[in-house]
Structure 1
Amino acid sequence: MRYCRLAATLLLLALAACNDRSDQAGPPPSAGPVEVGVIALKRQDVPRSIELPGRVVAYATAEVRPQVDGIIRRIAFKETRAVAAGDVLYELDNRKYQAALDAAAAAVKKAEAATASAQASYDRTARLAQTNAVSAQALDDAQSTLLQAKASEEAARADLESAQINLDDTTIKAPIAGTIGVSAVSVGALVTANQTDALATIRQTDPIYVDLVDSSTNLLRIGEEVKSGKLGRQPGIAADVALTLDDDKAYAQQGKLTLAEMVVSQTSGTFSLRSTFPNPNRMLIPGMFVRAKVDLGTMPNAFLIPQRAVTRDNSGAATLYVVSSDGKAELRKITTSGSQGNDWIVVDGVADGDRLIVDGFQKISDGTAVKPVEATIDEDGVVKQAISAVQAEGKAKP
């Protein structure tokens, strides 16, 4: 019993001592403002552009096919070389077509003779009819014979022209200027009129097309910005286009956006654009894939906000932190309009001179007291800022 009283007394004394030490320690010291890196925002005119995938397409394509049957006698071009419109490509054996032309020419002469005879007979009958020496029926018969002779002559001349066309078609010429590919046939091959397989294909590559693809939603938004004047571009003026090739090198020639297809794909919801480029050195080859940068214009009075400083809330709205006039972090919603490099283009939600928090915002929330430190961001998005005296002192301690 005595031991129990002693233990209880010691427990009471220990609790009292703890209470005394707690009263002497006092409340924990309050934490200071959070140090954050900031940059000053400034309105500026921001060039707008979009980068789209593209594919090179020939300016014009002509598949060469024979118009008459025949045996190829000569191939007059060098494969994969440039040809001009009207250059001779193939020559067919033309002997039977020359014979057909000669026969047609003879038929024309025969028809001309028949017409001359019918004309003389009609004239003679007409003179006799004036003196009632022949009947009216005889005059009508003479006139009918003359008309039939003239019709036969016209038909013979048409046959002559057709024979001449067939003879001319035995010489196959280039319909357009461009680069001709490999010949699908050789000398001695039999070809037929309008056959399915082409003898060769000519592609015009200077100038040349580059077909681009973008979403219909994006194009509608850009069109609205152009109409409202937000991009500083007049409607109807062709946009400039720059190309980057597969080897990541820029194409030296600049093109123009020339055509927009008025159909949206039902499967992908994409919209096709066509740009035209000069191609004097034949560097752009049909079928090649490229990346195109389309100049949309300049957006006045916009802000370039580093992407690292922008987050999204639960509703998907873009937000960022700025330093308020009383030294606290202030959360703001912003409106973006595309991007440029590592920056968002912001058109609403911030003002000239706002101090944007670009570093340290992971440790703050709306209303947190902050200590702003001037910072800079390089082209790779890396933040560089001055080290505070407190941090420097802490680093100097062993």
Structure 2
Amino acid sequence: MKGPSSLLREAIVFAGLVAGMALLAACSEQNTYVAPPPPQVDVALPLKQNVTPFLEATGTTSSVNATALVARVQGFIQEINYRDGDAVKAGTVLFVIEPQPYELALDQANSAKASADAAVKQSEAEFERQKALVTKTFATQQDLEKAEAARDANVAAQQQAAASIQQAELNLSYTQVKAPFDGVVTARLVSVGELVGPNNVSTLASIVQFDPIYVDFNVSEKDVLRIRATMQKRGVTTQDLKKIPVEVGLQTETGFPHIGTLDYAAPTVTANTGQLAVRGVLDNAARQLLPGYFVRVRVPLFEEPDRLLVPDRAIGSDQSGRYVLVAGKDDVVEQRTVQIGQLVGELRVIRSGITPDDRIVVSGLLTAIPGQKIEPQMTVLTATAGDDVTQ
């Protein structure tokens, strides 16, 4: 039989066990897992619009005309009529080679021509006199033939004298070295008083034309095939290509502020590079472009209708390629592999992989997990007219 103290201890232990079980039951009710609600994610239908793709390339600028100024006659430099780096007009006299020897040569040629003219006049009169005498039998046929031969020889000498005048005039004109076109003249390579000419220093300076200016770039064989196929489909001729604008931007510039037109395309693709040489021409009156610049080039191609566009930020990438997240059936996120195209402002053209009715996840990408449910919030995509389109 238990004593009172033993019964008391058992009652205390029993009460502690009951309290502990009650406490455990209470804790169990508080730790029951409750699933969080689906995350709210912005979704939007793809924007459908016409876009004009651009063919982008890198190129270099080059002069329409650039040539060396050469001394074509021998003599001493008498004048230099420009400062190094001057912009000059076509026909400006830049160098003067001592002209006196060539002026004297021209005077001699004129004198020889005058003498030849007199000889021709005299021999012509003699020929006419002998011809009249022969008809009256006062002179022989031999005398007439001699007179005719003398006349012909003098006529030949007259023609030679005329040619000598032309040569002397040409040599005299060469004593003035003129700008062949509008341009900028480089630093002179000779000094006043220096002997120049065919057997001495011949190159005096160079001149470079800045306005207009060429931009040279290359187009890949793949793009050439695509463009030619589009041209054939739309009935575009080769002459129509010369109306297509060419946009150029320097490395330090935003966008493509310099506008010109296509000027030339090579007739063949270079076999070892698989590229076609193309050239544009641009006005350059302000001389913002210098020959030899490395530039960015953009050429608008033919408009493509009804393209689907999504925000570029909504496109992800993994080992399988580019993808977008789509709110699918029952608002469960799906990952769609897509083929992307050109950039239009902040939107990217999607060439394949989605439909116009797909709800594209455009924000909250970190909370939108493929295979899990979301609470989509519809938004509308907009694009401003005139957004840039780049290849």
Q: How many residues align?
A: 345
Per-residue CA deviations over 1:101-159 (Å, capped at 9, x if unaligned) read 12211211221222122112111110011112222222122112111110111011111
The residue number in structure 2 matching 1:109 is: 114
**Does 2:359 match 1:355?**
yes
Per-residue CA deviations over 1:140-192 (Å, capped at 9, x if unaligned) read 22112111110111011111111111111111111111111111111111111
Identify the match of residue 371 of structure 1 among 371, 374, 384: 374
Contact 1:230 1:299 in 2 (8 A): no
The residue number in structure 2 matching 1:157 is: 162
Per-residue CA deviations over 1:235-290 (Å, capped at 9, x if unaligned) read 53623333322323456542222222233334433332222222222121111222
Q: Distance in 2 between matches of 1:76 and 1:274?
A: 35
Identify the match of residue 250 of structure 2 among 231, 245, 248: 245
Q: C-alpha displacement at 1:225, in angstroms?
A: 3.7
After TM superposition, the structure 1 = structure 2 runs for residues 228-267 of structure 1, keeping only pairs within 5 Å, are: 228=233, 235-236=240-241, 238-249=243-254, 252-267=257-272
Contact 2:76 2:195 in 1 (8 A): yes
**Does 2:301 match 1:281?**
no
The residue number in structure 2 matching 1:204 is: 209
Identify the range of structure 1 (209-218 vs 340-349) with the bigger mean alpha-carbon deviation: 340-349
**Does 2:274 match 1:269?**
yes
After TM superposition, the structure 1 = structure 2 runs for residues 1-398 of structure 1, keeping only pairs within 5 Å, are: 38-193=43-198, 198-228=203-233, 235-236=240-241, 238-249=243-254, 252-307=257-312, 308-309=314-315, 311=317, 320-330=324-334, 332=336, 334-340=338-344, 343-358=347-362, 359=365, 363-364=369-370, 368=371, 370-374=373-377
Give, as a single letter, the amino acid of the residue that structure 1 aligns with 2:88: V
Q: C-alpha displacement at 1:328, in angstroms?
A: 4.3
Contact 1:69 1:191 in 2 (8 A): yes
TM-score w.r.t. structure 2 length? 0.76
Identify the range of structure 1 (109-118 vs 194-203) with the bigger mean alpha-carbon deviation: 194-203
Q: C-alpha displacement at 1:226, in angstroms?
A: 4.9
Q: Secondary structure at the match of 2:224?
A: helix
Q: Distance in 1 between matches of 2:100 and 2:140?
A: 52
Q: Secondary structure at the match of 1:279?
A: coil
The residue number in structure 2 matching 1:382 is: none
Give, as a single letter, the amino acid of the residue that structure 2 aligns with 1:309: I
Contact 1:55 1:210 in 2 (8 A): yes
1:199–1:106 CA distance, 2 compared to 1 (3 A): same
1:299–1:203 CA distance, 2 compared to 1 (3 A): same
Contact 1:241 1:257 in 2 (8 A): yes
- Residue ranges of structure 1 left out of the alignment (5+ in a row): 1-27, 380-398
Q: C-alpha displacement at 1:33, in angstroms?
A: 7.5
Contact 1:323 1:372 in 2 (8 A): no
Q: Distance in 1 between matches of 2:267 and 2:345?
A: 30
Q: C-alpha displacement at 1:335, in angstroms?
A: 4.7
Give, as a single letter, the amino acid of the residue that structure 2 aligns with 1:160: I
Contact 2:89 2:183 in 1 (8 A): yes
Q: Distance in 2 between matches of 1:58 and 1:194?
A: 30
Q: Distance in 1 between matches of 2:375 and 2:200?
A: 79
Q: C-alpha displacement at 1:202, in angstroms?
A: 1.5
1:250–1:36 CA distance, 2 compared to 1 (3 A): closer
Give, as a single letter, the amino acid of the residue that structure 2 aligns with 1:184: L
Contact 1:322 1:330 in 2 (8 A): yes
Identical pairs, percent: 28
Q: C-alpha displacement at 1:30, in angstroms?
A: 10
Q: Distance in 2 between matches of 1:248 and 1:281?
A: 16
